[in-house]
Amino acid sequence: MKRVKKSVRSIPMFLIDRTRTETYPYDFFVYTHNAFPFMGRFLYFDSEEEIHQYMADELEAGNDYAVAYVTYQKGYVAAIAESFLTDVEWNEEMRKKVIVQLRKVVDKYKYTK
């Protein structure tokens, strides 16, 4: 019987930095996957309507971000993918892949300190 060796990552899939500064007052993350690594930040909102309004404003300004959010404390926390670290063709299929990963990172953010 042939044994299958498990693949082991040498670095975590997500790196989350909670060190806020005056120049960058956000928690941010890096997704380290080979095919489409990206960076993003976490934003806090009081309601889903605020999230939708923020995304509508960004789209109107020409920024087509992917976003995933969950309830967090007394409101919502959203993970927003803002910058890809490689050239990526931005289309609906890529958006869906990114949103799947954003859901994972926002869940990890929610349950870790």
How do residues 69-105 score in pLDDT, each as one tens digit?
A: 999 888 999 999 988 988 888 888 998 999 999 999 9
CB 66 within 8 A of CB 81: yes
In the chain, how many domains are there?
1
Separation of alpha carbons 89 and 109, rounded Å: 27
What count of other Cβ atoms lies within 10 Å of the Cβ of residue 72? 15
Q: Is 26 inside a domain boundary?
A: yes
Q: Is 7 inside a domain boundary?
A: no
Separation of alpha carbons 109 and 88, rounded Å: 25
Please tell me whether residue 6 adopts helix, strand or coil conformation.
coil
Portion of the chain with pLDDT greater than 70, in percent: 91
pLDDT score of 101? 93
Q: Is 54 inside a domain boundary?
A: yes
Instruction: Check whether 113 has a pLDDT greater than 80.
Output: no
Q: Is 84 inside a domain boundary?
A: yes
Separation of alpha carbons 51 and 27, rounded Å: 17
Q: Is 6 inside a domain boundary?
A: no
Q: Is 57 inside a domain boundary?
A: yes
Q: Is 4 inside a domain boundary?
A: no
Output DSSP code: residue 4. Answer: P
CB 40 within 8 A of CB 102: yes
Nearest CA to 106 out of 82, 72, 65, 64 is that of: 72
Residue 33 banded pLDDT, cuts 50, 70, 90: confident
| Mean pLDDT, the chain, whole residue set | 88
Domain holding 65, by residue range, is 14-111
Q: Is 32 inside a domain boundary?
A: yes
